[in-house]
């Protein structure tokens, strides 16, 4: 299996610009998660989907953040407009819903720097 | 609500010495427990997990962890570390019998192995 695929791996953008991060979950997995990792706050859950439906977006920090999952094999996390404090590593992860033990598999992350 | 406490943010240890990374969790219901490892500039990989049965769980790279229900702990151990074990280690918990909820992560412990 190819694993969770994220793009871009690295992005540097100017404050105010729109940023779109992309994720392809593992085939057959029907739960998808977006996490953000920073030195100060550690690993935070932003939003997760089950069967393409957003279940909990309480971790999304502000209205500037939005996430979509138009189909089972693709999700986006968008930041508009971006700010320097959004600089972080954004991880996408997926899981087969109902799998015993709920193992979540992570992508390699998208490293975002907003200047 | 679930929470995970990793008691040490950084653990330096000499090569070939034993190491223990501590993790305590709080939950009012039964849980599944996980340890993930993150090597520099990479995503998180599953190291091991406790679902049920034997309280001593063996994982990859010679690591093991012991589930202690009375102390609500799930400490990670390795009898002899290598330089290549230098990484960040995350403890995580999820509700038992739920395929729908995400993992709750601790803030991580940075293990530095010194030659």
Q: Is the pLDDT of residue A8 over 70?
A: yes
Contact A42 B51 (CB under 8 A): no
- Other Cβ atoms closer than 10 A to B61: 14
User: Which residues of chain A are within 8 Å of residue B105 when distances are taken between CB atoms?
Assistant: 42-43
pLDDT level of residue B101 (50, 70, 90 thresholds):
confident
User: Which residues of chain B are within 8 Å of residue A42 when distances are taken between CB atoms?
Assistant: 105-108
Residue A18 CA to its chain's centroid (Å): 15
pLDDT level of residue A72 (50, 70, 90 thresholds):
very high
* Percentage of chain A modeled with pLDDT above 70: 96
Contact A43 B45 (CB under 8 A): no
Residue A80 CA to its chain's centroid (Å): 15
């Amino acid at each position: 299996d190819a694993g969770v695929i994220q793009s871009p791996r690295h992005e540097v953008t100017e404050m105010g610009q729109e940023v779109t991060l992309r994720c392809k979950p593992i085939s057959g997995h029907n739960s998808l998660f977006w996490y953000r990792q920073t030195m100060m706050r550690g690993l935070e859950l932003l939003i997760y989907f089950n069967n393409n439906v957003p279940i909990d977006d309480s971790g999304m920090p502000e209205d500037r953040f939005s996430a979509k999952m138009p189909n089972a094999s693709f999700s986006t996390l968008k930041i508009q407009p971006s700010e320097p404090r959004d600089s972080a590593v954004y991880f996408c992860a997926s899981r087969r819903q109902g799998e015993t033990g709920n193992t979540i598999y992570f992508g390699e992350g998208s490293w975002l720097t907003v200047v | 609500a679930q929470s995970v406490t990793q008691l040490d943010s950084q653990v330096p240890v000499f090569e070939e010495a034993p190491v223990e990374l501590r993790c305590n969790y709080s939950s009012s219901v039964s849980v599944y427990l996980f340890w993930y490892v993150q090597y520099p500039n990479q995503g998180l990989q599953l190291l091991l997990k406790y679902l049920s049965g034997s309280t001593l769980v063996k994982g990859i790279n010679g690591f093991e962890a012991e589930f202690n229900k009375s102390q609500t702990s799930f400490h990670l151990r390795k009898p002899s570390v290598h330089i290549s074990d230098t990484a960040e280690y995350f403890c995580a918990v999820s509700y038992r019998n739920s395929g729908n909820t995400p993992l709750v992560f601790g803030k991580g412990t940075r293990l530095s192995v010194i030659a």
